[in-house]
Structure 1
């Protein structure tokens, strides 16, 4: 249930993000702007996500996973509705900027909720499946954009109004679940001291002193990964329609198939990382992805569907390793904050991906189609992604790996220094005692059933 609620929330986070990517031409026409102007709405979201990651990450590590998660989804409802009612370009940018803060707070919380209590042997596949909430959300956005955009008198707005509805159900789902066992153990250790807040601050100081270098590395790594995903996806629908004259139906089919490849790739490579290692899995699949860039961006016929499937298999295959890789590298007391903030600071660095590609692409004009200006976006995406793959491979190669690291508080040396070994041993002893008592109750129940 923890995995499922995290997966659904992360999927809808992606859905809300891609509603803009999939309606760039319609939004440009509505507000009298160019496609590049509208991509600033995407860029603002990416730039401000780190603010949300910091705010909600600290809140989740201090006060629990549940309520920051709920607040996050309430903001999704309000701001997605607000986007659907904007009347001017400035209003649109303002609402999307606020949406960036809300979106930024979810990733770290979702990863911690899904993986903290997960058995070690299952971490790889659970990580891969969780990350593919991103691709699943993209797929849903593609399908609903085709069904809701320009099929009513309200144009693009129904897609955003619809996007505000499912978070209501996700909130109800999360309210039915408790905090994770790992978080509850940490609360008990902090409560054993004289001051919970003081202990939490002490944990932060210890984590920063011991792990500052790995935190910098995680931000640099996530910058590469975010350039990889946004560079390959954000402007791709525009390339298909503008450069290769694909119909809306053809774009929809291509995007759906690509995201099916992404979900398969993330799950498979995430699972393989449990066997062959996190770093090897990332490097291997990035090499394959680089080899597929030419057909992905230079195939002008509908055969590009196959290239899109396998390219996104590789992109999200590498991404499937990331949730558990970040969790295993993060300090135990600040997993939500560190995972979310490193991911979103990487987003901040890569926030101008679509704007960069769009701006450079406009330097390569093609013959116009009527009054519509056309540009050779494919060559830009291909070169851009080649550089990104090389960067990710290099950084992954030189970085560390902590496969199957223990998440329980009794193995956390940072917590031991901040709260004292006595507090951890006392909580561990109480936990063992309660487990033994529960085991005895279970055994008695089994004996009674056998006698009956």
Structure 2
């Protein structure tokens, strides 16, 4: 109740920045996960297999750190707000263009360009919000922002459930124009970050010098985000394929289970984000990972749709519970002079290293007779151990005053 009261006390501009960033990440993820649901359909049209088609996610994820770097540098130079609008227009355009791919190669190129644009959204949106709200609300809002990702997955699941059998994979991509509408909300209601405005009054800092001066924390965060991205994508990206190819579930049943899964992710992200204000960022991440351990057998090796749905829900409560801390944790650990670029670049560079996750998991499954459940369990089990250990030995900074830090 205290959190709700604090959220109500925010100014209209602060509330708008939260909604704009949340919806930006939601619709960004919506466009990304449309591809995940259509591996089989795209493979059939272009005469190839799911493993080859899954390379599309590799190209998307691999391009994201370059977008995070370019757009992040622009956000530190020109402001969070205008660059965020450009990013949203760009990834919406490339999502629509995906519908007109004439070959698998052209689709890979377009999805790489989509990934480049997508790479800028998370870091800029997170820094805009974290620099605009009171420190005591960063944990809860961090969980809300990160829940935008499963919210986007949920929307993609819903659209797949309702429309795929009627409009096909090309029609699904045409729906990707919807995020562009968000630009009007940002243009009319969102104000620039106070920390950026304070920073803009100071002499400009060479961003690459700032990176070099903070190379230890940069390296730490890249390793952390590599493990986190294996954890997230390793439990999400091939899950629809697992349901359809291994369990032979219908489009509607697979879509429904994916929606249940993402409902758990939203619950976990927001819940653990709120809890992190009480127990700390590191403890919340570690507890989230530990909660996933007993769920793995239920999630990966159940045989009935009901038990698969229960396992999917509980697994994503844990996975996205840990992930809910990431926006605030990365922003609090970032240097003030490059906060528009630093968190997003570290996050997306980890994405680059983990970008072949879907291909790796598809290969593991093929080598074991199409056992996608085994591939899911192996990746989840290994990466949660890495996250627990790496988080435990790492730093934590809470309640940093971003404006005063920028002024200094």
Match of 1:405 in 2: 400
Match of 1:138 in 2: 153
Equivalents in 2 of 1:411, 1:96: separation in Å? 38
How much has 1:242 moved relative to structure 2? Answer: 1.2
How much has 1:97 moved relative to structure 2? Answer: 1.0
2:175 aligned residue (162, 167, 182) = 162
1:114 aligned residue (126, 129, 132) = 129
Match of 1:279 in 2: 282
Q: Gaps (5+ residues) in structure 1?
A: 191-198, 366-374, 417-452
How much has 1:150 moved relative to structure 2? Answer: 2.6
2:185 aligned residue (165, 173, 185) = 173
How much has 1:209 moved relative to structure 2? Answer: 4.6
Provide the alpha-carbon RMSD of the alignment. Answer: 1.2
Give the match's secondary structure for 1:336: coil
Equivalents in 2 of 1:306, 1:126: separation in Å? 27
Equivalents in 1 of 2:294, 2:288: separation in Å? 10
Match of 1:245 in 2: 248
Equivalents in 2 of 1:162, 1:411: separation in Å? 42
Match of 1:24 in 2: 39
How much has 1:43 moved relative to structure 2? Answer: 0.5
List structure 1 runs of 4+ shifted beyond 6 angstroms.
none
Match of 1:440 in 2: none
* Deviation readout 1:207-247 (Å, 9 max, x if unpaired): 33542100100000000000000000101111111111212
Select the structure of larger CA radius of gyration: 1
1:340 aligned residue (324, 344, 351) = 344
Equivalents in 1 of 2:212, 2:378: separation in Å? 39
Q: Gaps (5+ residues) in structure 2?
A: 1-15
Aligned positions of 1:5-404 closer than 5 A = 5-152=20-167, 155-164=168-177, 166-176=178-188, 177-190=190-203, 199-201=204-206, 204-205=208-209, 207-302=210-305, 303-365=307-369, 375-404=370-399
Equivalents in 2 of 1:134, 1:311: separation in Å? 15
How much has 1:200 moved relative to structure 2? Answer: 2.7
* Deviation readout 1:335-394 (Å, 9 max, x if unpaired): 1211110000010010000100001110112xxxxxxxxx11101211121001111101
Q: TM-score scaled to structure 1, two decimals?
A: 0.85
State whether residues 81 and 186 of structure 2, in contact with CA within 8 Å, keep that contact through their aligned partners in structure 1.
yes
* Deviation readout 1:60-90 (Å, 9 max, x if unpaired): 0111012211111121232111100112111
State whether residues 16 and 163 of structure 1, in contact with CA within 8 Å, keep that contact through their aligned partners in structure 2.
yes
Equivalents in 2 of 1:317, 1:238: separation in Å? 24
How much has 1:136 moved relative to structure 2? Answer: 0.2
How much has 1:175 moved relative to structure 2? Answer: 0.9
Match of 2:9 in 1: none
Equivalents in 2 of 1:47, 1:288: separation in Å? 29
How much has 1:265 moved relative to structure 2? Answer: 0.4
Match of 2:11 in 1: none
Q: TM-score scaled to structure 2, two decimals?
A: 0.94
Equivalents in 1 of 2:303, 2:320: separation in Å? 23
Equivalents in 1 of 2:148, 2:212: separation in Å? 34
| Structure 2 CA distance for partners of 1:79 and 1:209, relative to 1, 3 Å | closer
How much has 1:259 moved relative to structure 2? Answer: 0.5
State whether residues 149 and 157 of structure 1, in contact with CA within 8 Å, keep that contact through their aligned partners in structure 2.
no
Equivalents in 2 of 1:172, 1:212: separation in Å? 38
State whether residues 261 and 313 of structure 1, in contact with CA within 8 Å, keep that contact through their aligned partners in structure 2.
yes
Aligned length: 391
How much has 1:156 moved relative to structure 2? Answer: 1.2
